[in-house]
Amino acid sequence: MQRYAIILAAGKGTRMKSKRYKVLHEVAGKPMIEHVLTNVKASGVDQVVTVVGHGADEVKETLGHQSLYSFQAEQLGTAHAVKTAQDHLSSKEGTTLVVCGDTPLITAETLQALIEHHERNKAHVTVLSATAINPFGYGRIIRNEQQQLERIVEEKDASAAEKTISEISSGIFAFDNQVLFETLNQVRNDNAQGEYYLPDAVALILHNHGIAEVYHTDDFDEIIGVNDRVMLSQAEKALQQRVNDYHMRNGVTLIDPTQTYIAPDVEIGMDTVIEPGVRITGRTTIGENVHVGQYSEIHNSKIAAHVEIKQSVINDSEVGAYTKVGPFAQLRPGSNLGKDVKVGNFVEVKKAELKDGAKVSHLSYIGDAEVGERTNIGCGSITVNYDGINKFRTVIGRDAFIGCNTNLIAPVTVGDGSLIAAGSTITDDIPNDSLALARARQITKEGYVKK
């Protein structure tokens, strides 16, 4: 059986108080709509149609060719929004999911279970429900004596007894596709808002003696719809807890999960320890037995096993096994550290390769450079890579020793095994196994001050 999905993403989101289109607000570093689309596709659907309205171009730019699109010019209700997808889907047979684009916590597993429950029971419609501690504002699930769905009653229409019901409709449905579009033609807008509501389609299916089912999720957080900044923060917190719990259950120690931010796409090996205040984002991968010290930031980087990172910032870089970074070091994009490298306090590395065993321990800038195996760069040394117009490259061979406070004026090459005296400014290439001194001669005049 073919499976389809319609994502409702046409609402303006006025309660967000923002110029940004609602479903493009980010949760865990990604637009809400991207979370929804990722999980919808992972649930096994064959085709997705996203209903856009306000901010249509921005949504299309975000999702690209992952979805087809329909346009809702006027916001005339959820049933009207679904109906705009008819050119893509109305002639097809199968199961169609309807999912809200502002529910970033919905999981592929729940959507897949909803579809399977729907198809197993040969239902015409299946409602995803959840139990709310405070159900105010949600449509209530009303069941008959056989515990089958009798109707969905909205808050404003509910009796006092019905308002005590805690099982609520999530606004997420699975439909028989043909039944869906046939029923949408019967939905009326004779209500105070003059809009066409999707729950009315469910009521019509029940009225026509169709088969209506309910699938209940135990995780209320999954169906949270984000309508304002408060709910956005709640979704952020819930998703972060889900991500952190996943890593801890897979062998990662988070000293304080409430103060640790890990993006959903991050991969972390077992026996790694993450201290409080750490932020790990993008498609970062971290190996086993890594220690990430407090207040470190790692983005889109690859960290091998047994690395120690102390209070440092790492962006778009690679760090080899047994390497030590920090405290207070910065690896800018394009940095590549080999095995057993040391990048110490207040060292900045940019677009440079430090090969196995290289050490830059203090107060240095290494940019647009290659540093050979086991080379030691002394405190305060700098690769002078920029002349105001162009960037130039410095190449330092293996087993070299660069004395403190050395300026390497690129382009320049330092040979294997060479030694540069402290305080030198190097402008010429240095052959292998050479000593280079390039500093002003000291002049001492004894007794000069007393004259």
Report DSSP letters for 70-113, one per residue: EE-SS---HHHHHHTTHHHHTT--SEEEEEETT-TT--HHHHHH
- Helix (H), strand (E) at residue 349: strand 348-350
191 belongs to an annotated ligand binding site: no
69 annotated as belonging to a binding site for a ligand: no
Integer angstrom CA distances of residue 307 from 130, 227, 251, 287, 295: 43, 42, 17, 8, 16
pLDDT at 119 over 90: yes
| Cα Dmax for the chain | 113
pLDDT of 192 over the 80 cut: no
What mean pLDDT is predicted for residues 80-98? 96
> Which tokens go with 239?
């998703």
> Quick check: 79 pLDDT over 90?
yes
Residue 106 has pLDDT above 90, yes or no: yes
Mean pLDDT is lowest, of 122-131, 149-158, 229-238, for 149-158
26 is in an annotated binding site: no
Q: Is 197 annotated as a binding residue?
A: no
Residue 240 pLDDT class (50, 70, 90 cuts): very high
Question: Is 174 known to sit in a ligand binding site?
Answer: no
Distant-in-sequence, close-in-space partners of 328: CB < 8 Å, separation ≥ 6:
310, 311, 312, 345, 346
Q: Look at residue 451 in the predicted model and tell me its pLDDT.
A: 77
Percentage above 90 pLDDT, the chain:
91
By annotation, the residues acting in catalysis are 362
Residue 158: what pLDDT? 87
Confidence bin at 132 (pLDDT 50/70/90): very high
Phi/psi at 206 (5° precision):
-65, -40
Phi-psi region of 328 (alpha: psi -120 to 50; beta: other; left: phi over 0): left
225 in a labelled binding site: no
User: Does 45 or 155 have the greater pLDDT score?
Assistant: 45
Question: Which pLDDT belongs to residue 301?
Answer: 99
Name the pLDDT band for 440 (thresholds 50, 70, 90): confident
Does 11 count as an annotated binding residue?
A: yes
pLDDT at 184: 96
For tokens 């889109």, what's the residue? Answer: 300
Look at residue 215 and tell me whether its pLDDT is greater than 80. Answer: yes
Q: Binding residue per annotation — 10?
A: yes
* Residue 72, annotated as binding a ligand: yes
Predicted local distance difference test score (pLDDT) of residue 380: 98
| C-beta separation of 248 from 265 below 8 A | no
pTM, two decimal places:
0.89
* 134 CB burial (10 A radius; 0-12, 13-18, 19+): exposed
Confidence at 216, pLDDT banded by 50, 70, 90: very high
